[in-house]
Amino acid sequence: MAFEYAPAPESRSVVDIRASYGLFIGGEFVDGSGGRIKTVNPATEEVLAEVAEAGSDDVDRAVAAARTAFDQVWGPMPGRERAKYLYRIARIVQERARELAVLETIDNGKPIRESRDVDVPLVAAHFFYYAGWADKLRYAGFGERPLGVAAQVIPWNFPLLMLAWKIAPALACGNTVVLKPAETTPLTALAFAEICQQAELPPGVVNIVTGAGETGRLLVEHPAVDKVAFTGSTEVGKQIARSVAGSRKRVTLELGGKAANIVFDDAPIDQAVEGIVNGIFFNQGHVCCAGSRLLVQESIAGDLLDALKRRMALLRVGDPLDKNTDVGAINSAVQLERIRRLSEIGDAEGAERWTAPCELPDRGFWFAPTVFTGVSQAHRIAREEIFGPVLSVLTFRTPAEAVEKANNTPYGLSAGIWSEKGSRILAVADKLRAGVVWANTFNKFDPASPFGGYKESGYGREGGRHGLEAYLDR
């Protein structure tokens, strides 16, 4: 008899979603001057709330509030005092961890297991880490002067975690921020605004403006911001790089990727299979550093693929609030459409599709874990970022060929290496043109560890001592 896990849903009662949200400017929620946007639960298509779509006047107000706070309060404040606010925020995140995890899962579609065990703990850790830097900047080697007002635009794949990656170092260095969460996932950022209130963070230090791409453009191009930090698509990253040309604004960009996950014939196979699965199906593959290209040595390709498919068949796809769900909902209809379209191109180009056997819910946005074999470098599914649970498998014969194929992309965010031979790992890691190299592991993150890309995956690093550089004027 099969071991059928009964549903184990996390309780939704810990969150209290308002019907409507304003903008968080100058320490309070205010009405926006523009339209309204509905945010939906991608697992059910239920409308969760309406949020404001910040317009030009709203962005002006937010930037002005941040400027005032920078000039009058946060900039002059001693680092040790700024640190205490950040520690407070870290603690409140821990105290409200379950609520934040549930809210993130409802708004984003990611499994509660991930929001509970990965996203939210890392959010608290990130604030805790950068809090400690606030009064130690002189030791970091990047100067001690903040830049001023930071315009920060974040994506929908890790809404609260990306907020933490942006806000924690900015505040630690003495900057004030105006942050725009993604159009489809504004709710945890708005909950974070309440956390700022609970922490009694001085008004204007953190301002949250919700909206879509146009709000982001207004914010990034605002003449009074000193710093732009963006995480999102390479396409938008390029637009931002163009828009700041000739200005004095400093920019960091964390963009797309098409990471190679290289499995050598001497790999620890069972952990490699886990790493491949974690590399591409973690967060439904909505991960810029996802290991979306599996490069496997030809001599073990057959066995490895058998093991991978066996493992993929165990993935539990469905209700993101179920504590046993491994793969949740695709974040939006738009993203689902993109995944479908690129997968169809994979079919059309002759790659062989295999889909994990799983039942998908009737409502909501879903895509079953999928692997394409027989893929070559020329296939679009091997070149373009799909940003979904779709793995392309390529083979190689020699380490040199593996490196060559891994680097044969305009991206350079991350890469994986699986081998039990230490010297091979070090040699291959040296040759990979990627900002994060995971050897015998994948998709690991830590506030102390710098993260960011080479080439068209962007520039600048987030995390670690290096993450301070983006927010200081040497």
Catalytic residues: 254
Q: What's the CA angle centered on 441, arms 373 and 365, to 5 degrees?
A: 55
Specify burial of residue 19 (Cβ count, 10 A radius: 0-12, 13-18, 19+). exposed
Question: Binding pattern to another protein, positions 406-435, x when CB under 8 A?
Answer: ----x-x-------x----x---x----xx
Token pair listed for 420:
């039990």
Q: How far is CA 107 from CA 120, 238, 420, in A?
A: 14, 28, 40
Does position 242 bind another protein by CB under 8 A? yes
Does position 94 bind another protein by CB under 8 A? no
Whether the CB-CB separation of 120 and 103 falls below 8 Å is answered with no
Nearest to another protein of 1, 378 (CB atom): 1
Q: Which residue has the tokens 């003495």?
A: 174
**What is the nearest approach in angstroms of another protein to the Cβ of residue 155?**
17
Nearest to another protein of 47, 313 (CB atom): 313
Instruction: Select the residue interacting with another protein from 28, 46, 81, 117 (CB under 8 A).
Output: 117
Stretch that binds another protein, among 6-14, 22-30, 73-81, 202-210 (CB under 8 A): 6-14
In terms of phi and psi (left: phi > 0; alpha: psi -120 to 50; beta: otherwise), the region of 168 is alpha
Whether the CB-CB separation of 438 and 428 falls below 8 Å is answered with no
Nearest to another protein of 83, 122 (CB atom): 122
Instruction: Select the residue interacting with another protein from 13, 16, 423, 474 (CB under 8 A).
Output: 474
Token pair listed for 326:
């491994």
Find, among 239, 236, 237, 326, the residue nearest to 285 by Cα.
326
Does position 226 bind another protein by CB under 8 A? no
Alpha-carbon dihedral sign for residues 116, 95, 153, 77: negative
- What is the C-alpha to C-alpha distance for residues 184 and 352, in angstroms, rounded to an integer? 32
Does position 79 bind another protein by CB under 8 A? no
Does position 172 bind another protein by CB under 8 A? no
Question: Binding pattern to another protein, positions 430-469, x when CB under 8 A?
Answer: ----xxxxxxxx--x-x-xxxxx-xxx-xx-x--xxx---
Does position 357 bind another protein by CB under 8 A? no
**What is the nearest approach in angstroms of another protein to the Cβ of residue 1?**
7
Find, among 241, 4, 199, the residue nearest to 92 by Cα.
199
**What is the nearest approach in angstroms of another protein to the Cβ of residue 238?**
5
Token pair listed for 339:
């995944």
Residues that bind another protein (CB under 8 A): 1-8, 113, 117, 125, 141, 234, 237-239, 241-242, 245-246, 253, 255, 266-271, 274-275, 303, 314, 323-324, 410, 412, 420, 425, 429, 434-441, 444, 446, 448-452, 454-456, 458-459, 461, 464-466, 474
